[in-house]
Amino acid sequence: MLSVVTIKDIKIAIGSSCKSYRKAHNLSREELAEVLDISRATIQNIENGKNATLDNILKIANHFGLLPSISNQIDKATTNQDNISLYK
């Protein structure tokens, strides 16, 4: 059976992770926003699974040291595709 993942699912997962990391580092939304030079409302929107720019998501990931892990997962996903195409 196919597992369907929606964009909304990913937005919610990213938001939940952002909130967990922020709280684990004892930061308020305001403090994180100030460090990243973005608004508190932007942090709130991301944590609530609402639209966010890729730049802002990557700023948060970078702040919490997640960029290497994200990069490794992208590399793994792209090299494991074995050139599979739905358009053959």
Is 84 within a domain?
no
Which residue, among 51, 49, 56, has the nearest Cα to 35 in the 3D structure? Answer: 56
Ranges of residues in the chain whose predicted pLDDT is under 70? 1, 81-88
Residues 64, 25 contacting (CB under 8 angstroms): yes
pTM above 0.85, yes or no: no
Rounded Cα distance, 39 and 52, in Å: 12
Q: What is the pLDDT of residue 45?
A: 97
Structure tokens that stand for 35 in this block: 């460090």
Residues 15, 48 contacting (CB under 8 angstroms): yes
How many domains are there within the chain?
1
Is 37 within a domain?
yes
Is 1 within a domain?
no
Is 20 within a domain?
yes
Question: Which residue's entry shows tokens 């702040």?
Answer: 63
> Which residue range forms the structural domain that includes residue 23?
8-79
Residue 65 belongs to domain with CATH number: 1.10.260.40
Q: What is the pLDDT of residue 87?
A: 62
Is 85 within a domain?
no
Is 87 within a domain?
no
